[in-house]
Amino acid sequence: MASKGAKRAWLIIGTLVIVMSLWIVALFVSSISGGISGGSAGANYDEVLVEEGASADKIVMINVIGEIFSDPEGSASGATDHNIIEQLERATEDPNVVGLILNVDSPGGGVLASDAIYNKVSEVAEDMPVVSLMGDTAASGGYYISAGATEIVAHRFTWTGSIGVIAMIPNFTEAAGKLGIGMSVIKSGALKDIGSPFREMTDQERQLFQTLIDEAYGGFVKVVADGRGIPEDRVREIADGRIYSGNQAKEIGLVDRLGDRDTAFDRAKRLADSADASLVAYQPVRGLFEGLGFLGVSGAADEIKSELGISRKPGASYLWIP
C-alpha cells in the first residue's frame, strides 16, 4: 500500500501535468486563433446596428475606451493604435460609410500610439466628416486624437484638456537602503543608466529628460493649434496640464459644442449631408480561448506595477495621472 507521502507526491505530479496540458492547449489554440477570426484588415470586427436609418448610408462609431497604448502586432485588446487604426481603415473601405464618430473615454496614453491614431483620424477627416464624442474623460492623449476630428462634441461635465506630457521615473533609493539592497553598475558612459531607480537623478539627467518632454510637448501644442485653429502662443497659455470641464473647454475653443451621442450623430449626418444614415459600430470578435488569462504569468506583475504607479515601459506619455 502506498504511503501518504507517495500519494501526496503523485497528487502534486498529476496536478502539474493537468495544468501544463491546459497551458499547452491554450497556446496551441492561441496560435491558430488568427485563422479563426480572420487575418485581413477589419476581419476581427463585426458590424452591429446601433440606430437604423432609412438609407444605405452609415455613420460608424469607433470606441476609444481606456488607456491608449501601442501594439504593433495587434495581439492586445482595447484602445491600441492597431485596433483603432484597423477600424478606421475598415470604415474607409466601406463605400456606404459617409462619416465617423470617435467615441472617446480615455485619460490618454502613449505618445507614439496617440500620434499614430491622430494621424489616421486626420487622414480620414480629409475624405469624410469625423466627430469626436467625449465621454466622462477625454484628457491628454484622449484630447490629442480628438484634435484631428472635424468637430468635437463634449458633455458639459466631461473632463478634458490635460494638454501636456509626463514621464514618471520611480525612485527606490530610500526603500532599498532600509532593506540593504544595492546595485552594482558597470557602464560605458556616464548617462548609460539614466533613470535608474536605485540612485538619485543628477541635474544633468533631469535636464536631459526635460528636453525630451519639451519636444513632445511642442508636438502636442502644434497638433492642438493646427486642429483647432488656435495660435500656438494661446495654446501654450491654456496647455499647462490642467483639466477642463466640457463647459470650460467650449469657452476657450477646445470643443465645438456640448451634447451627447445624439448630438454627435446629428452633427455627423449634417456634415455628411445624409439625414437618413444609420448608426453602426464595430464589435470585436472574441477568440475561442480568449479570456484564459489565468494561464498566463504576466498579469500579476502588471497589476503590481500598476498599483505602484509604474508604467508598463519607460518613456513619455500623453496621459492624465491624478
The whole-number average pLDDT for the span 135-160 is 97
pLDDT interval class at 37 (50, 70, 90): very low
Is it the case that residue 183 has pLDDT exceeding 90? no
**What does the pLDDT look like over 268-295, one tens digit per residue?**
999 999 999 999 999 887 655 454 444 4
Distance between CA 89 and CA 244 in Å, rounded?
31
Average pLDDT of the chain is: 85
Q: Are 77 and 116 in contact (CB under 8 A)?
A: no
Is it the case that residue 251 has pLDDT exceeding 90? yes
Cα-based angle 142, 146, 151 (whole degrees, multiple of 5): 150
Distance between CA 254 and CA 251 in Å, rounded?
8
The whole-number average pLDDT for the span 121-148 is 97
- Residue identified by cell 497551458 is 23
Q: Which of 57-71, 183-197, 200-214, 285-299 has the lowest mean pLDDT?
A: 285-299
Q: Homologous superfamily of 40-289+301-319 in CATH?
A: 2-enoyl-CoA Hydratase; Chain A, domain 1 (3.90.226.10)
Phi-psi region of 221 (alpha: psi -120 to 50; beta: other; left: phi over 0): alpha
Q: Which of 52-66, 171-185, 293-307 has the lowest mean pLDDT?
A: 293-307
Bridge partners, residue 64, by sequence = 104
Cβ atoms within 10 Å, residue 26: 17
Please give the biggest Cα pair distance in the chain.
87
User: What residues act catalytically?
Assistant: 140, 192
The whole-number average pLDDT for the span 13-30 is 57
Better-predicted residue by pLDDT, 163 or 15: 163
Distance between CA 138 and CA 159 in Å, rounded?
6
Distance between CA 149 and CA 151 in Å, rounded?
5
**What does the pLDDT look like over 194-220, one tens digit per residue?**
988 888 999 999 999 999 999 999 999
Looking only at the bridges linking them, the beta strands covering 45-51 and 278-284 are antiparallel
Distance between CA 90 and CA 100 in Å, rounded?
11
Q: What is the pTM of this model?
A: 0.80
Q: Which of 83-87, 94-98, 101-105, 181-185 has the lowest mean pLDDT?
A: 181-185
